[in-house]
Amino acid sequence: MGDSQWRGENLSEMKDLTGLRTESETETRSESKTGLKPGTEAETGDGAEKNVSKEVSRVPLWKFILPSVSGILFFMVPVRYDGGWTLPVKILANLISQRIGEFLPILCAAIVTVSGFLTVVLPCCRRYLESHPALKRTFSPSTIWKVIRVLGTVFILLTYFGIGDGNPVLKYIVSSDTGAFILSDLLCSLVIIFLIASFLLPLLLNFGLPEFIGALMTRVMRPLFSIPGRAAVDALTSWIGDGTLGVMLSVTQYEQGYYSKREAATITTTFSAVSITFAIIVLSQVDLLEYFGLYYLLICLVGFVCAMIVPRIPPLSLKKDEYLVAGKAMGEDIPPQYRSLTEYGLALAKRKIASGKGFGEFLLGGLGNAMDMCFGVLPVVMCIGTVSLIIANYTPVFDYLGAPFRPLLEFLQVPQAAEASKTMVVGFCDMFIPSIIAAETIQTEMTRFIVATISVTQLIYLSEIGGLILGSKIPINIFELFVIFLERTLISLMIIVPVAHLVF
């Protein structure tokens, strides 16, 4: 990411200026005094262990159970509502949207405009920025991200005010399948989810649940997927809940120092799946809903295989295990004083709770997350999403990029291989476009099924998940995202096509 390096380098300065140093900086300072490796003092020093054990023993179990169960229920457990299954967080988002839906477009336009304006103006006021590190962190990205934010601002103002409908150039920006779609269908949903999740994600993060799950799942997640056990929480949030929430969860943990650069890039590009609801919408678009059971089993199978293979090959395998904040990563081994993984996990969870600073930290963290996501990510999604949809809808670029897939599809004996090849790469812009093209141009059920399944297993699309990743501090660029997208496409084809031949 263009601005991730700057942010990492200035994080320590920011904490010095605000006086809000996190637990990790305290651990890092203590390392220089005691000679202990950060994150291992509880296992290596008898005196330190006794002090930590005393503090941890005073933490009641309900402080872990109550908020963690609340977070799980809110973000992960589907409930029956209004004739269908959904998540409580979605219900809350829908209720808010119904109340203030008519104001959401102008709210999004205002947020993106303020972001673009302050990104241009504030860097000129160096003294002011130095005295307000939170503003410096949010509104002083690198040059490329300044340009993207400014373009996002221009696009959203043109779209909101309907400027350029009759202009031969501007009409491509503001049309209903480009800029207007990004604003009304995507940003208006994202802004509510960002605001809700920013204040409620701490239920999953700040009360020991990742530490507890991490201790239980490390022996599974690390050997299979080369990521920490705590990433199981992110994966469940994405698969059961929503990929956007999973990305937010992973970005937050990366910024707090729990994931390395490689781990954060792997988790967000491998486990940020779409919800079951969206998967149903994709399959219904190609009129094959009767195959949903097989369809979703295939999605899970391909997701599992991709999660085992893709992190072990470039570009993900080339990412370094460096942390944005040192000293917070959880150890992989169980200390000898613990008799089981459960006991160790509970101890880690209580230690996390004991290190918290109370309700004020909860609110400050939520406010910071909301600020970063709204002002940092929404302009990126508006710019990159609009440009990618313009390319997909009004140019033959993706037809050309998909052409190399035609020989492979013909070799795999996929009917209407020429038409199917045009859908193989266009999903990089938006996951829904391949199924729309398939519904309009492909008559063979088998091929429509293949296209619909692959469009979901490709996972990375710029209009949402890809845009969120690019707008975050995770160090991965658009070229690397495209390479990962192609890798997932090839792996998906090798699994989905043989199964389709057996079924159709």
pLDDT the model gives residue 22? 40
Name 238's bridge partners.
none
Does residue 203 carry a pLDDT above 90? no
Structural domains of the chain, count:
1
The C-alpha R_g of the chain, in whole angstroms, comes to: 23
> Which of the pair, 283 or 19, is modelled with greater confidence?
283
Q: What is the mean pLDDT of residues 278-296?
A: 84
Does residue 31 carry a pLDDT above 60? no
CA distance 299 to 291: 12
In a domain, 232, yes or no: yes
Alpha helices in 37-123 (DSSP H): 41-44, 46-57, 62-75, 88-100, 104-121
330 by DSSP, 3-state: which? coil
CA distance 457 to 485: 9
Does residue 307 carry a pLDDT above 70? yes
Does residue 47 carry a pLDDT above 70? no
Longest dimension (CA), the chain: 75
Does residue 127 carry a pLDDT above 90? no
Name 260's bridge partners.
323
CA distance 93 to 86: 11
Q: What is the pLDDT of residues 360-382, one digit of tens each?
A: 777 777 787 788 888 988 998 89
In a domain, 350, yes or no: no
In a domain, 302, yes or no: yes
Range with lowest mean pLDDT among 44-48, 206-210, 298-302: 44-48
Kindly state the percentage of the chain with pLDDT values over 70: 86
Going by pLDDT thresholds of 50, 70 and 90, the confidence category of residue 261 is very high
CA distance 302 to 64: 34
| Structure-token pair, residue 243 | 């990929």
CA distance 456 to 459: 6
Mean pLDDT, rounded, of the chain = 82
- Residue 201 CA, chain-centre distance (Å), reads 13
- Does residue 87 come out as left (phi exceeding 0), alpha (psi in the -120 to 50 range) or beta? beta
419 by DSSP, 3-state: which? helix
| Dihedral over alpha carbons 495, 316, 253, 89 (to 10 degrees) | -30
Kindly state the percentage of the chain with pLDDT values over 90: 34
Does residue 267 carry a pLDDT above 90? yes
CA distance 51 to 184: 54
In a domain, 114, yes or no: no
pLDDT the model gives residue 241? 62
Helix axis angle, 276-285 relative to 445-457, nearest 10°?
150
405 by DSSP, 3-state: which? helix
* pTM beyond 0.85, yes or no: no
CA distance 308 to 227: 10
> Which of the pair, 393 or 409, is modelled with greater confidence?
409
Single out the residue of 37, 40, 42, 191 nearest to residue 105, CA to CA.
191
Phi, psi at residue 86, to the nearest 5°? Answer: -155, 180
In a domain, 297, yes or no: yes
pLDDT the model gives residue 27? 40
Do 253 and 474 form a contact (C-beta atoms < 8 A)? no
Q: How many CA atoms lie within 13 A of 359 on its CB side?
A: 0
CA distance 71 to 136: 31
Single out the residue of 384, 379, 2 nearest to residue 157, CA to CA.
379
Do 74 and 236 form a contact (C-beta atoms < 8 A)? no
pLDDT the model gives residue 144? 86
- Kindly tell me the burial class for residue 181, based on how many C-beta atoms sit within 10 Å of its own C-beta (0-12, 13-18, 19 or more): buried
pLDDT the model gives residue 35? 37
DSSP structure string for 343-366: HHHHHHHHHHHHT---HHHHHHHH
Name 79's bridge partners.
86
Q: How many CA atoms lie within 13 A of 399 on its CB side?
A: 7
Does residue 405 carry a pLDDT above 70? yes
Domain span at residue 317 reads: 209-332+385-503
| Structure-token pair, residue 409 | 């599809």
CA distance 456 to 460: 9
Single out the residue of 69, 74, 73, 91 nearest to residue 82, CA to CA.
91
In a domain, 435, yes or no: yes
In a domain, 249, yes or no: yes
Does residue 93 carry a pLDDT above 90? no
pLDDT the model gives residue 409? 96
Does residue 28 carry a pLDDT above 90? no
Q: What is the mean pLDDT of residues 448-464?
A: 91
DSSP structure string for 118-182: HHHHGGG-HHHHHH-HHHHHHH---HHHHHHHHHHHHHHHHHHHTTTTTSTTTHHHHSTTTHHHI
Single out the residue of 365, 418, 429 nearest to residue 395, CA to CA.
429
Does residue 34 carry a pLDDT above 50? no
pLDDT the model gives residue 234? 86
In a domain, 266, yes or no: yes
Going by pLDDT thresholds of 50, 70 and 90, the confidence category of residue 94 is confident
pLDDT the model gives residue 104? 94
Q: How many CA atoms lie within 13 A of 133 on its CB side?
A: 16
Single out the residue of 133, 138, 103 nearest to residue 118, CA to CA.
138
pLDDT the model gives residue 358? 67
